[in-house]
Amino acid sequence: MNTASPLLIAAALLFCAAPAFAQTPERGSDLFLQHCAFCHGRDAGGGEDGPDLTRSKLVALDRDGDQIAPVIRTG
């Protein structure tokens, strides 16, 4: 499991219309690439505008999007 997995799962939970779609890491990965990678980099290691999410304490402590969801929704 790579270090970005909790973030990918959180992204899946936030961007899926139906909860059943949120259950696969592949779906989360696709959503991350569509909605997040342009700032945070394809591997979540940081980009020009977004911080490195692989070293984020918030992401590391996140379970099922409970920590990162409010940040994604409100900035």
Instruction: For residue 9, give the nearest of 38, 37, 30, 40 by alpha carbon.
Output: 30
Helix, strand, or coil here: 22? helix
This prediction's pTM = 0.61
pLDDT of 7? 64
pLDDT, tens digit (0-9, with 9 covering 90-100), for 10-59:
665 555 434 444 557 777 888 889 989 999 999 999 988 899 999 999 98
pLDDT of 21? 46
pLDDT of 46? 92
- What distance in Å separates the CA atoms of residue 27 and residue 52, rounded to the nearest whole number? 21
